[in-house]
Amino acid sequence: MPETLAQEQRRTKPKLENVIASRECMGDKSKQVAYAFLDYCNARNITYKWSSTNRWNLNIKGKSIGYIGIGARKRDDNSWNILMNEKELVQYQDFIEREGLLETIHNNIGYCIKCHGNCTPKSATILGKTFNNVCSGLCFKNPDADTLESIQKILDFRLQLTHGTASRPILDPATDGLTRINNKLRVSGVSDLHGNANDNISNLFNGKCGDYFYAGPYDYQSNSGSHDILFEMDKPVELKMYGLFTGLRLDVPNGWALYGAESKGGEWILLDAQNEFPKPVTLYTEKAFSIDKPKIYQYYKITLDGSYFVLSQVHLYTK
């Protein structure tokens, strides 16, 4: 029995250049644009390794930003496409609007065509406009030279952004001159408002950016849309700033509020509230926020809004 295309590629892990060259049905113009994109990727150290049937993962410095697809997983399909994660593009909205690329983005939404037989289409708001039946975020199908130029402008902007790593996180320079409380020693207890403690919420204060707090499916409170995290200091302290650290994903809280209380059952006093994470969002990067009217408290609470996000640490700063 002959191998299926999926079996063959799983065994051979073919190079993208070779697959393009072998596909006579693509046409010379499509091949020319595809090769131009590969030349662009090679010049900027964007890798494209085989991932699955007729799909190659686009990777920048160890992070996947999308895929190149050839032939929609069939041997005789003459299409090729560049797929990009809409969560990446949300971070570049100001740049995209300034460069006049918004229409190009909205004209290349990846609608569901039941390509896998088990797709789960969704409604997605992408750069200010809501689309239904979205499958893959963005799908630039058979891009011409002008569309390719737009894609490359976006990727050039992406390459300028500095992302941290779990071992080399990026601290917010706004905290220079302040003292970061040693989370492991000074935070004596972490729980939700019901007194429940677990590793998920404790990860926020363990000093390890490689760990993280995850809010989403299969996790406690996943359907609440709001996560209250109470942390007790070993003694009262006046916070001047606090920082939220992103983790291994670009998903961040929709908003949050920080409160202080003098006692465990005391009144919660609002210290700061934010309704959006500063953009662009980059991995393993701290964003710090000032407390306008600091006061000495032993108990602090942060309420994180959103049903799906990742944070690696919360940092606390005093004089």
What integer pLDDT is reported at residue 221 of this predicted model? 47
Pairing of strands 296-305, 226-238: antiparallel
Does 121 sit behind a cis peptide bond, omega within 30 degrees of 0 on the bond before it? no
The domain 173-318 having CATH identifier 3.40.50.970: the answer here is no
CA distances for 191 relative to 75, 104, 228, 232, 308, angstroms: 54, 46, 9, 9, 19
Residue 121 CB-half CA count within 13 A: 12
What does the alpha-carbon distance between residue 133 and residue 131 come to, in Å, rounded to a whole number?
Answer: 7
Domain ranges of the chain: 5-160, 173-318
Q: Please tell me the pTM assigned to this model.
A: 0.74
Read off the DSSP letter of residue 162: P
pLDDT at residue 44 in the model: 95
Do residues 172 and 180 touch, judged by C-beta distance below 8 A? no
Q: Provide the b/e sequence for 218-237 (b: ≥16 CB within 10 Å).
A: eeebeeeebbbbbbebeeeb
Buried b or exposed e, range 241-256, using 16+ CB within 10 angstroms: bbbbbbbbbbbbbbeb
- C-alpha 163/C-alpha 184 separation (Å) is 25
Asked if residues 9 and 50 have their Cβ atoms less than 8 Å apart, the reply is: yes
Q: 78: part of which helix (H) or strand (E)?
A: none
pLDDT at 218: 56
DSSP conformation letters of 29-49:
HHHHHHHHHHHHHHHTT-EEE
Question: Would you give per-residue pLDDT tens digits along the chain (319 residues)?
Answer: 888 888 999 999 999 999 999 887 788 899 999 999 999 999 999 999 999 999 999 998 778 888 999 875 554 567 899 998 877 777 788 889 999 999 999 999 888 766 555 566 778 788 888 888 887 678 899 999 999 999 999 999 988 888 899 999 999 999 999 999 876 657 777 877 777 778 888 888 888 999 999 987 655 444 567 888 888 888 899 999 999 999 988 889 999 999 999 998 899 999 999 999 998 899 999 999 999 999 999 999 999 998 889 999 999 999 8
Rounded CA separation 259/156 (Å): 40
Q: Are the CB atoms for 75 and 5 separated by under 8 Å?
A: yes
User: 25 CB contacts (<8 Å, ≥6 apart)?
Assistant: 76, 77, 78
